[in-house]
Structure 1
């Protein structure tokens, strides 16, 4: 009995000496359990909030705070210092801080002030990325760069490059040509016109008889080889106002970076507009005959679509030329014989001009009448007819 009493006394004494250590171990376990939960929940909270922000493209504080509060453990104090940043490139960044008072802080093996709070900072960022999915498509962008476009051209260039920038070159078979026009159209270093390698040339797309437009022969020669045509070429000069001295045709290419650089380099010039010149030369970047003239390899696919998009902000200086060419069958030849789809975008143009485009487009084409830059962006994207899929990428 005496031995048993001594053992009980020894156990009680040992437990008494070990109690602080046990309490410290328990406090440490509880502390790390709480801290781990706070760290995990903070990460989950900002990831969920940034998903909502990025997908909705909105930094709505009601939604963000609601998500952050939903993931907040019961023992965590109210939110402190959370912030949301939504940038112009479809990206979102959210940071938040969870903080709590340690339980049984007095039992921790370190001195902890009673007012000390432990915090965990969460940071997450993501970006909404659009990828364009396309079957093989050739686009000819026929763009008005006459003097009246001085104020609108920068916005048009941005709209075009934004749409092209969304196209993933790794998963698409998309090619673009660019045909800028004013009074006429210019080329440089064209393989089918040897003297254009020495200096740029303005090239007329029309056929004349007795000094007057011969609309029928112009339509007939639309897809003639270059050696059958007389381009009436002339070196551009600001005093002649025949074509731009700096902005020329870019033949079909799948190098989208080159297309965007070319569009971005376009400059306005000239005092008159001749959309029929750009229209015909746009066609001559798309047909198989003329792709060979440009030393471009045609795409051999039954799924290939070819589309010409003409943009202008005004009437032609010789509006009768476009009407005469339509009467001679130009629009039918382009759409029915050459199987090229056409779209027209008029930006602040007259009702008569829109009617002219509708007559040319018929039932197979599309005509858009834009009155502001928002319309213009929507109509251009519709004319390109891009199909996009969206994905959210974390860490961007």
Structure 2
């Protein structure tokens, strides 16, 4: 039995414990509320960070797919992914870049529940930001293709079109095929020509070791008199021969305007899939001297011939479906001289490149006179392979077309 005194003592102890618990709860309540507020704010921040990342990814993919930075579509996607506790989506920036990549920067800002418990400051707004970049790859299955890019860098390039703009256009067109180059299906060689083409450290030309040498390379009936007795048949016969055995006329680069010369800083670049190397060369172009379009065509075409690739210690591609395209660019500053523009007696050599070595010739011109265009069309063998731009917008479109690769399928990728 328990006495009344025992029950009274037990009640007193329980009452004392309940009082202590109540006091402890009251003391810990602010701490618990602060922890609750912090956990709530953290979970809201994590959710908004995930959602804004998803939103910016989706918006950049939509931009890349349509190739338009449509502000309405991008804002709609940001609103779609916006959590309920975020009042508005912050569309900070969207841009379709020069190389057709889409950058989208976005953010979500909100005021967490119970935020005043965590700080005495009046501004309790938190924000999550994200930036995404996407790119449209227009082909996931690409046939191998070798380009020879033969570019006129005579001083007329400073008057017909501004050289910085030309560089920009060429680099944009090259960037279009960067994915194909990254998987090894596209290679470029590059020839810059004035009246002649320069070579440096060519394995087949000992005279070029450590310095640039201007090379004519064409056979003549009367050596030493270019343009008087140009031997077309011998030129065609030599196209597939080893480089070291081909008739050459060598000279150093010179500043003398009337002498045949080449660029002292931009020698020929043999086939490579390193597009950064190609674009660096384009950046360094300096327009000087006079031009000889056929020299550019001749050396550009040779860079695609298997024997000449081996002479440069480059292994030719033997995969089925290989395409070879020589893209020659020149402007309307071609001089009206029989040895400085494409002439009718050059046409059999153009045909030999096409028939014997399966090299497609494409001309991209800028404001070339009609008379010269007709000769160029006969060399290319097709009107569809000759583009004569009248303004910079056309020139950009024509370069993109000339450097277009054949592909199947389409792929969107997110980039870091």
Q: Give the TM-score range, shorter chain.
A: 0.7 to 0.9
Q: Which residue of 2 aligns with 1:213?
A: 230
Q: Which residue of 1 aligns with 2:157?
A: 149
1:324 aligns with 2:335: no
Question: How many Å separate the matches in 2 of 1:82 and 1:98?
Answer: 15
CA contact (8 A) 2:149 2:191 kept: yes
Mapping of 1:228-267 within 5 angstroms? 228-239=245-256, 240-246=258-264, 247-267=266-286
Q: Which residue of 1 aligns with 2:127?
A: 121
Q: Which residue of 1 aligns with 2:394?
A: 375
TM superposition shift of 1:349:
1.9
- For residue 158 of structure 1, the aligned residue among 152, 165, 168 is 168
Q: Which residue of 1 aligns with 2:214?
A: 202
Q: Which residue of 2 aligns with 1:310?
A: 328
Question: How many Å separate the matches in 2 of 1:156 and 1:64?
Answer: 32
TM superposition shift of 1:309:
0.6
TM superposition shift of 1:294:
2.6
SS at match of 2:131: strand
CA deviations 1:279-318 (Å, max 9, x no partner) are 1111111111222233322223223221111011123543
CA deviations 1:27-85 (Å, max 9, x no partner) are 66874675355324422442244235423266666555544444555555x34976336
Question: How many Å separate the matches in 1 of 2:156 and 2:386?
Answer: 21
Q: 1:365 to 1:231 in 2, by over 3 A?
A: farther
Q: Which residue of 2 aligns with 1:95?
A: 107
Question: How many Å separate the matches in 2 of 1:233 and 1:124?
Answer: 58
Q: Which residue of 2 aligns with 1:83?
A: 92
TM superposition shift of 1:236:
2.4
> TM (normalized to structure 2)?
0.76
- For residue 47 of structure 1, the aligned residue among 47, 50, 53 is 53
SS at match of 1:356: helix
- For residue 283 of structure 1, the aligned residue among 296, 301, 323 is 301
CA contact (8 A) 1:53 1:60 kept: no
Q: Which residue of 1 aligns with 2:413?
A: 391
CA deviations 1:135-163 (Å, max 9, x no partner) are 33221110001111135333333333344
- For residue 360 of structure 1, the aligned residue among 360, 365, 379 is 379
SS at match of 1:224: coil
CA deviations 1:170-226 (Å, max 9, x no partner) are 422322211111122222232323223365332224332353323344334333334
Q: 1:70 to 1:26 in 2, by over 3 A?
A: farther
Question: How many Å separate the matches in 2 of 1:23 and 1:72?
Answer: 33
CA contact (8 A) 2:197 2:263 kept: no
- For residue 172 of structure 1, the aligned residue among 184, 187, 198 is 184
TM superposition shift of 1:340:
0.6
Q: 1:34 to 1:152 in 2, by over 3 A?
A: same
CA contact (8 A) 2:203 2:311 kept: yes
Q: 1:324 to 1:163 in 2, by over 3 A?
A: closer
Any gaps of 5 or more consecutive residues in structure 1?
none
Greater Cα offset, 243-252 or 175-184: 243-252
Greater Cα offset, 240-249 or 137-146: 240-249
1:190 aligns with 2:202: yes
CA contact (8 A) 1:101 1:118 kept: no
Greater Cα offset, 61-70 or 336-345: 61-70
Q: 1:322 to 1:170 in 2, by over 3 A?
A: closer
SS at match of 2:316: coil
Question: How many Å separate the matches in 2 of 1:389 and 1:62?
Answer: 23
SS at match of 1:303: coil
CA contact (8 A) 1:128 1:391 kept: yes
SS at match of 2:93: strand
Any gaps of 5 or more consecutive residues in structure 2?
223-227
Tell me the C-alpha RMSD between the 2 structures.
3.8
